[in-house]
């Protein structure tokens, strides 16, 4: 696991000669900073006439960044605006070779300070280790000091760890399949979780065959690499939940579409099809690192989906782990097949709740784009509502799609129990209904196909893998644990 490129520390005083980010939500000039008459005039013009929310003062020996966020309809919107402003500060700091920043603010609430710190940490991510000029391109910013007597070290550690977890998920997603096949993914995940204090077990091909995981085995038939099924666990003493929360993450390390071959341009980013597996692994890492009193399990079925040798083809009928027969009509609807076996396996834990993350359908992206997560729930209304609130808190918002039983008709097969696609309408929902068939517990499905990987940089979410879902679920679990 790569370490975070920027460290975060807490102090109770700032250095007047250091680079300072000053936050004020009162639209007043900071009394802590002594500004010259020219500086005051410049700031007032920028703030009052040009309505700029970020004002930069160059004092040659150091920079002052003044944040005047606009009033927002909710605190959640304010915090997101501050994360984005912080990303701009981070970009400017790196462009000017700055190595450190201080964050403070007069009468500023602690949530605002933490949002700025988080925005800089997440924005400072780079995935450039395969470039020959990587050393020259590395960001200069390496240290952030939070100046506050209202925050404690636990707040700083939490933001550091959840940011680290999010960036680790990005690393996993951004690795190409020739650097990270199913076996290597399982090894990297297991090594990191064990180092954080959790447990990890990897089921090999023989164990997967013994469990009769027909979905995972079918998708893997076209690969020269064997599949893996990784089980992660964090089980502290005195966990608040007697039955575990189980996370399930899709681990398709590369998806060609199989014999239902994707167009060439659609395959360029398919290294990201294991983003669900990366997300749930990073959630376990954050929870274990911060010792939350939550019993947590993650299941990651992993393989690539290719079309060589004896690969499965449209028309095949496969038998899933729970005995359900499935008519395969499209080999590019492979994610739901490997997830179905994992959802069946989850029953052995008698889970309190199962959360499923997958880059599952283009339909979800066409519906809402990359600005949120398509989500569906079955027998989990209260849990879903709490997660939706966390989604607003971290700006990883949920859009609920229905799980009405009428959609089940679209996935009924005439020659098997189910078929793996439901037609041209409501593709994200029928995929969710397919998964629901394999559950008997409170279940929430997150289709992260669009927001998991961005082909154009978007503020602190960056370019490529975003690590979406990590901060969302951590916030939910933290609230549940009442930490």
Query: Which residue matches tokens 């993650």?
Result: 298
3-state secondary structure of 398: strand
Given its phi and psi angles, is residue 238 left (phi above 0), alpha (psi -120 to 50 degrees) or beta? Answer: left
Rounded Cα gap, residues 364 and 373, in angstroms: 8
Distance, first Cα to last Cα, the chain: 26
Rounded Cα gap, residues 178 and 181, in angstroms: 7
Active-site entry in 199, 212, 262, 479:
262
Given its phi and psi angles, is residue 97 left (phi above 0), alpha (psi -120 to 50 degrees) or beta? Answer: left
Nearest partner of 448 among 342, 378, 363, judged by Cα: 363
Residues belonging to the chain: 483
Asked if 9 is an active-site residue, the reply is no
Query: Which residue matches tokens 């009428």?
Result: 406
371, with CB counted inside 10 A (0-12, 13-18, 19+), is: exposed
Cα 407 from chain centre: 28
Q: Is there a contact between 330 and 420 (Cβ–Cβ < 8 Å)?
A: yes
The widest CA-to-CA distance across the chain, in whole angstroms, is 82
Asked if 336 is an active-site residue, the reply is yes
Which tokens sit at 190?
């297991």
Q: Is there a contact between 345 and 263 (Cβ–Cβ < 8 Å)?
A: no
Rounded Cα gap, residues 161 and 167, in angstroms: 10
Active-site entry in 47, 336, 433, 478:
336
Which tokens sit at 121?
């940490």
Neighbours of 134 (CB within 10 A): 12
Query: Which residue matches tokens 């960044």?
Result: 65
Which tokens sit at 321?
């782990």
Which residues neighbour 56 within 8 Å (Cβ) at sequence distance 6 or greater? Answer: 63, 64, 65, 66, 92
Q: Is there a contact between 381 and 469 (Cβ–Cβ < 8 Å)?
A: no
Pairing relation of β-strands 317-319 and 251-255? unpaired
Which residues neighbour 184 within 8 Å (Cβ) at sequence distance 6 or greater? Answer: none
Active site residue ranges: 262, 336
């Amino acid at each position: 696991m790569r370490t975070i490129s920027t460290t975060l520390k807490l102090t109770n005083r700032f250095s007047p000669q250091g680079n300072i980010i000053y936050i004020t939500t009162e639209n007043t000039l900071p009394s802590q900073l002594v500004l010259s008459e020219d500086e005051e005039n410049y700031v007032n013009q920028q703030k009052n006439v040009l309505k700029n929310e970020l004002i930069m003062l160059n004092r040659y020996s150091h920079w002052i960044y003044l944040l005047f966020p606009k009033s927002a309809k909710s605190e959640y919107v304010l915090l997101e605006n501050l994360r984005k402003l912080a990303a701009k500060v981070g970009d400017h700091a790196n462009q000017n070779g700055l190595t450190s920043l201080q964050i403070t603010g007069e009468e500023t609430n602690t949530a605002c300070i933490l949002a700025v710190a988080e925005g800089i940490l997440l924005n400072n991510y780079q995935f450039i280790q395969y470039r020959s000029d990587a050393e020259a391109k590395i960001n200069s910013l390496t240290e952030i000091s939070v100046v506050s007597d209202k925050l404690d070290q636990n707040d700083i550690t939490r933001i550091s760890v959840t940011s680290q977890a999010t960036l680790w998920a990005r690393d996993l997603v951004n690795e190409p399949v020739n650097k990270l096949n199913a076996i290597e993914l399982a090894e990297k995940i297991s090594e990191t979780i064990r180092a954080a204090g959790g447990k990890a077990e990897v089921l090999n091909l023989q164990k997967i065959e013994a469990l009769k995981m027909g979905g995972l085995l079918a998708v893997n038939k076209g690969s020269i690499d064997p599949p893996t099924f990784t089980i992660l666990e964090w089980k502290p003493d005195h966990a608040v939940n007697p039955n575990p929360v189980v996370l399930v993450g899709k681990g398709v390390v590369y998806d060609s579409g199989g014999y239902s071959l994707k167009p060439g341009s659609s395959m360029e980013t398919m290294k990201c099809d294991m983003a669900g597996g990366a997300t749930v692994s990073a959630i376990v890492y954050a929870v274990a690192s911060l010792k939350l009193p939550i019993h947590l399990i993650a299941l990651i079925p992993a393989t690539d989906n290719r079309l060589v040798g004896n690969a499965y083809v449209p028309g095949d009928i496969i038998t899933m782990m729970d005995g359900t027969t499935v008519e395969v009509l499209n080999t590019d609807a492979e994610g739901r097949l490997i997830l179905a076996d994992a959802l069946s396996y989850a029953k052995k834990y008698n889970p309190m709740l199962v959360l499923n993350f997958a880059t599952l359908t283009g339909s979800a992206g066409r519906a809402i784009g990359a600005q949120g997560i398509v989500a569906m729930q079955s027998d989990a209304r209260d849990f879903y509502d709490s997660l939706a609130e966390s989604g607003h808190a971290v700006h990883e918002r949920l859009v609920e799609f229905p799980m009405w039983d009428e959609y089940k008709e679209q996935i009924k097969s005439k020659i098997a129990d189910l078929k793996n696609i439901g037609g041209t309408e409501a593709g994200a929902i029928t995929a969710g209904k397919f998964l629901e068939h394999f559950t008997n517990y409170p279940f929430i499905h997150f289709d992260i196909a669009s927001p998991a990987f961005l082909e154009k940089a978007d503020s602190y979410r960056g370019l490529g893998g975003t690590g979406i879902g990590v901060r969302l679920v951590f916030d939910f679990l933290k609230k549940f644990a009442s930490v």
